[in-house]
Amino acid sequence: SRLYFKNPDKDDLGTYSVSVSDTDGISSRFVMESDELERLMALSHEIRNPTIPLKTELTYEILERGKVRFWIEAPSLSAETNYRFVVNDMEVKDSESHKIKFDKSAGVIEMVMDTFTVENEGTYTVQIQDGKAKNQSSLILIDDAFKALLAEAEFQRKEYIRKQ
Domains, the chain, with CATH or none: 10-48 (no CATH), 56-163 (2.60.40.10)
Name the phi and psi angles at 39, rounded to 5.
Answer: -65, -45
Q: Which residue has the higher pLDDT, 122 or 44?
A: 122
Contacts of 135 (CB under 8 A, 6+ apart): 51, 52, 53, 54, 74, 127, 128
Q: Give strand pairing partners of 111.
A: 70, 100
The pLDDT assigned to 151 comes to 96
Contacts of 19 (CB under 8 A, 6+ apart): 25, 26, 27
- The pLDDT of residue 69 is above 90: yes
Q: State the amino acid at position 134 in one-letter form.
A: K
Q: pLDDT, tens digit, for every residue of 79-133?
A: 899 999 999 999 999 999 999 999 999 999 999 999 999 999 999 999 999 999 9
Q: Which of 97, 68, 101 is nearest to 83 (CA)?
A: 101
Q: Which residue has the higher pLDDT, 121 or 164?
A: 121
pTM of the model: 0.77
Mean pLDDT over all residues of the chain?
93
The pLDDT assigned to 25 comes to 82
- CA atoms within a 13 Å half-sphere pointing along the CA-CB vector of 139: 19
Of the listed ranges 43-52, 67-76, 119-128, 132-141, the one predicted with least confidence: 43-52
Q: What angle do CA 145, 151, 153 make, to 5 degrees?
A: 100
Q: Give strand pairing partners of 18.
A: 28
